[in-house]
Structure 1
Amino acid sequence: MRYAIAAAAILGLAASVGAHADVYRWVDSEGRVHYSDRWVPGSELVKVNRSRQSPEAAAARAAAEQNRLAVTSDRIAAQQEDARTAQAVREDVAKVREEQCREAREQYQKAIRARRIFRTGKDGEREYLSEAEADEYRMQARNEMLAACGSAN
């Protein structure tokens, strides 16, 4: 029984050594390519990729890849959240600008339609502007509207 186990071990070792033998390539006189595990004059050693991974190394590589994908996924999710936040801010700013434009346009339209323009004094009394002051007020209202709405409006 011991001899059978020893013989099996030796045969297994011999088989595994053969699996890792060098491979040689040569071309015969008729132009055919041959491969062998024994050197023949004129043959070349062929590089054989023998990279075999252990299950632990394969598992480690898979875990590293999953970790990399998780980090990438988290980064993409954060970028999408940042983009949503930036879009919300842009929408809020656009609403505020639209409201400012509307108010400036209303002020300008009131200044144009009004025959006489007045200011309310500290004591609450109306102080009517002269024609020159009214024209200056209208120009100021126009400039404020252009600044708030842009020159196209």
Structure 2
Amino acid sequence: MFRPVLLLTLAAVMAAGTAVADVYKYKDEKGNIQYTDKPPSLPAERLNVQSQRTDVVAAQERSQAAVQSANSKPTGNSTPEQKAAAETTAKDKADRCIKARERYDRYMNSPKLYEQGKDGERRYLTDAELDAARASAKASMDVMCQ
């Protein structure tokens, strides 16, 4: 029951940049191990969780810069294999742009989004999570479609 909360807590910590969070590990009344930022009772083991945010946009820009520099190197004698590879790379970029645009459109036009649980149960995103997902989709689309 707390697993989606744990995932959301960890995602929020990662989105906040370098952060230190108070995360506690405890056993509930059924003997299951739970993770939370607010344990219902003590004793609970305090875990030192440190995270650094991965800037997805910056990583995608670095990847595109590497592809562009590889494609822009003059070789003098371009082989058919090199030309085919360049065409494949351009096609892949166009496909990624199309998928990113479709994802952004789907997120913007959906009044509610949900995560699928392991047991098939749906957990609908809160307004804040929905806004964050939409912002992430927009940033991905902007990078992929440059």
TM-score in terms of structure 1 length: 0.44
- Flag the structure with higher strand content: 2
Structure exhibiting the larger radius of gyration computed from Cα positions: 1
TM-score by length of 2: 0.46
